[in-house]
């Protein structure tokens, strides 16, 4: 979707002569008695000036310089190594290492096989919180299974860096989405660690709708685990079998932290440790959710969007049993990922959320105030944005996702002087 504010400007024009001209036309068209016309004209001129100013602001030049660093084939995610180099995943299954100058391009071998098709393939990459002592990295990917079924999986392995690249060894799968289903969409599979070292995984609804409300499935959920994949005893649903007569005590529900998610692709903790998730809505209704323990975010029972075939989905405000999004978007922004900005290079953005926008082809800046969130700014980038991350010095690093052309650039954003 294009930025609606840019559309506004296109339809109204911003020059003062346009404003005057339109006012005259309106007055003539509506045949307003002449004694009101001057006042009306003044009011409308003021209104149009305010609108024009807003439009000018929306069209203001980007507050950062954009430098192209490297080019990748369908890049999906990135993370920074302690030595400053960047790990970049490509959906077809490659894990690349590249210097911040775009040079010294290397590959990591020993990765799990990925099931590349549709939205599936290689996904996220994050370092273990104690990477420097453990060497562990975590990767997510789509995994094939008998019968043409698929599911998201998260594996970890020890990354050994060498002159000519890197090797992943001692690879073990720490989580698998359950159950595996047919289809190629909505894996989710964003990975994050919190300050206490818990492993968080977002699990998409696999375009299957109702499993998001099914406690015997990890589809459409947020998952919280120990770093080795074991289940924390204080997860909200570990004793769920005692509250539901139809489930036994060997289900997958102990992994679940929250439910009713659709395709959560953005997941990050703010500077106060609060977890936020940005997820793709259906036709309309993309969401920014503030995650609470055991929360139910309503999909597919409620959504501020509708089904793609036009069928209605009741809006969130029709059912207070579900947790409402803090922000939602129609037209959609299509969040690719989300990060919190903690650097000093863009001081005004400290503590803000930044969302990579795919269909919106933009970076969206969100200001937080406790439990509230406000869209503060939207930076048009001219391409679908898959990922935005903060680098070690506080600059922003961006991955484009021009999957149709089979290429996507790695960009570095620094403040304009
Ligand atoms: Ca709706």
pLDDT of residue 237: 98
User: How far is ligand 1, taken at its centre, from the CA of residue 307, in Å?
Assistant: 8
Lowest pLDDT segment from 7-11, 41-45, 257-261, 328-332: 7-11
Q: What is the pTM of this model?
A: 0.86
CA 315 to ligand 1 centroid distance, Å: 4
Backbone angles phi, psi at 220, to 5 degrees: 75, 35
Residue 13 Cα to ligand 1 middle (Å) = 33
pLDDT for 291: 98
Enumerate residues 6+ apart whose C-beta is below 8 A from 197: 129, 226, 227
- At 38 the pLDDT is 46
Percent of the chain clearing pLDDT 70 (strictly above): 85
180 CA distance to ligand 1 centroid (A)?
Answer: 28
Task: Report, as residue numbers or ranges, the catalytic residues.
Answer: 186
pLDDT at 27: 29
Q: Does position 372 have pLDDT exceeding 50, yes or no?
A: yes
- Spacing, Cα 313 to ligand 1 middle (Å): 4
Q: How far is the CA of 10 from the centre of ligand 1 (A)?
A: 29
Task: Reply yes or no on whether the pLDDT at 12 is more than 90.
Answer: no
Confidence of residue 54 (pLDDT cuts 50, 70, 90): low
What is the reported pLDDT for 323? 98
The least confident of 21-25, 340-344, 362-366 is 21-25
pLDDT computed for residue 64 by the predictor? 98
Rounded distance from Cα 283 to ligand 1 centre (Å)? 9
Q: With bands split at pLDDT 50, 70 and 90, how would you rate the model's confidence at 34?
A: very low
411 Cα–ligand 1 center, Å:
36
pLDDT of amino acid 405? 65
What is residue 58's predicted lDDT score, i.e. its pLDDT?
A: 53
Over residues 66-71, the mean pLDDT reads 96
- b/e for 173-196, b at 16 or more Cβ within 10 A? ebbbbbbbbebbbbbbbbbbbeee
Residues 6+ apart with CB under 8 A from 379: 62, 63, 64, 362, 363, 364, 365
Measured distance CA(384)–CA(376) in Å, rounded: 20
Nearest to 186 by CA among 283, 91, 280, 303: 280
CA of 322 to the centre of ligand 1 (A): 14
CA of 296 to the centre of ligand 1 (A): 17
pLDDT in tens, 91-133: 999 999 999 999 988 999 999 999 999 999 999 999 999 999 9
Going edge to edge, which strands form the sheet with 256-259?
A: 188-193, 199-203, 221-225, 256-259
pLDDT at residue 5 in the model = 33
Residue 50: pLDDT band with limits 50, 70, 90: low
Neighbours of ion ligand 1 (CB under 5 A): 313, 315
pLDDT for residue 24 is more than 50 = no
Find the 308 Cα to ligand 1 centroid distance in Å.
11
Q: What angle do CA 410, 415, 417 make, to 5 degrees?
A: 130
Which of 39-53, 148-162, 351-365 comes out lowest in average pLDDT? 39-53
Q: What is the mean pLDDT of the chain?
A: 89
Q: Which fold has domain 64-415?
A: Neuraminidase (2.120.10)
What gap in Å lies between CA 308 and CA 298, rounded to an integer?
18
Taking only the tens place, the pLDDT of each residue in 197-228 is 999 999 999 999 999 999 999 999 999 999 99
Range with the poorest average pLDDT among 55-69, 180-194, 331-345, 347-361: 55-69
Note the Cα 80 to chain centre separation in Å.
18
What local confidence, expressed as pLDDT, does residue 417 receive? 79
Q: At what angle do helices 34-58 and 16-30 cross, to 10 degrees?
A: 140
Q: For residue 101, how far is its CA from the centre of ligand 1 (angstroms)? A: 46
- Region(s) of the chain under CATH 2.120.10.30: 64-415
Q: Label residue 402 by pLDDT band (50, 70, 90).
A: confident
pLDDT in tens, 340-356: 999 999 999 999 999 99
- The confidence score (pLDDT) of residue 412 equals 98
pLDDT surpassing 60 at residue 189 = yes
Q: How far is the CA of 371 from the CAs of 70, 111, 162, 291, 298, in angstroms?
A: 38, 39, 45, 10, 19
Report yes or no: 159 and 168 within 8 Å, Cβ to Cβ.
Answer: yes
Query: How high is the pLDDT of residue 60?
Result: 75
3-state secondary structure 335-369: EEEEEECCCCCCHHHCCCEEEEECCCCEEEEEEEE
144-174 per-position pLDDT tens digit? 999 999 999 999 999 999 888 999 999 999 9
Give the confidence band of 406 by pLDDT, cuts at 50, 70, 90: low
Distances (CA, A) of 192 to 25, 177, 297, 360: 56, 16, 19, 24
Task: Report the separation in Å between the CA atom of 284 and the middle of ligand 1, taken as the mean of its atom positions.
Answer: 8
Measured from the Cβ of residue 152, the count of other Cβ atoms closer than 10 Å reads 30
pLDDT at 4 over 90: no
Give, rounded to a whole angstrom, the gap between the first and last alpha carbons of the chain. 30
Q: What pLDDT does residue 74 have?
A: 94
Q: Where are the beta strands (DSSP E) in 73-148?
A: 75-80, 86-90, 95-98, 106-109, 122-127, 136-145
């Amino acid at each position: 979707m294009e930025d609606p504010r840019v559309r506004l400007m296109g339809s109204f024009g911003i020059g003062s002569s346009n404003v005057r001209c339109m006012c005259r036309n309106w007055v003539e068209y509506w045949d307003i008695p002449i004694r009101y016309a001057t006042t009306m004209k003044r009011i409308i001129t003021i209104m149009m000036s305010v609108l024009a100013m807003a439009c000018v602001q929306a069209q203001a030049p980007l507050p950062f310089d954009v430098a192209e660093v490297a080019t990748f084939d369908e890049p999906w995610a990135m993370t920074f190594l302690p030595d400053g180099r960047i790990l970049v995943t490509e959906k077809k299954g490659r894990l690349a290492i590249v210097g911040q100058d775009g040079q010294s391009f290397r590959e990591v071998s020993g990765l799990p096989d990925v099931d590349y098709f549709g939205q599936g393939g290689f996904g996220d990459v994050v370092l273990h919180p104690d990477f420097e002592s453990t060497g562990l990295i975590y990767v997510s990917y789509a995994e094939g299974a008998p019968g043409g079924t698929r599911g998201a999986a998260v594996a970890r392995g020890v990354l050994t860096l060498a002159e000519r690249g890197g090797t992943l060894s001692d690879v073990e799968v720490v989580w698998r989405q359950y159950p595996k289903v047919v289809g190629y969409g909505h894996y989710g599979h964003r990975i994050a660690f919190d300050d206490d070292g818990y492993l968080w995984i977002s699990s998409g609804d696999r375009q299957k709708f109702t499993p998001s409300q099914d406690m015997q499935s990890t589809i459409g959920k947020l998952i919280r685990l120990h770093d080795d994949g074991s289940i924390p005893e204080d997860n909200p649903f570990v004793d769920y079998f005692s509250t539901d007569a139809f489930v036994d005590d060997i289900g997958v529900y102990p992994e679940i932290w929250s439910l009713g998610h659709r395709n959560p692709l953005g997941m990050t903790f703010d500077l106060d440790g609060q977890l936020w998730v940005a997820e793709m809505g259906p036709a309309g209704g993309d969401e920014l959710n503030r995650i609470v323990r055991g929360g139910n975010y309503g999909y597919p029972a409620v959504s501020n969007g509708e089904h793609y075939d036009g069928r209605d989905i009741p809006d969130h405000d029709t059912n207070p049993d579900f947790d409402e999004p803090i922000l939602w978007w129609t037209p959609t922004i299509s969040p690719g990922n989300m990060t919190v900005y903690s650097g000093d290079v863009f001081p005004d953005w400290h503590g803000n959320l930044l969302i990579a926008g795919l269909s919106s082809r933009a970076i969206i800046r969100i200001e937080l105030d406790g439990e509230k969130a406000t869209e503060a700014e939207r930076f048009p980038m001219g391409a679908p944005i898959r990922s935005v991350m903060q680098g070690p010095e506080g600059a922003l690093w961006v991955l484009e996702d021009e999957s149709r052309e089979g290429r996507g650039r790695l960009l570095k954003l620094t403040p304009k002087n």
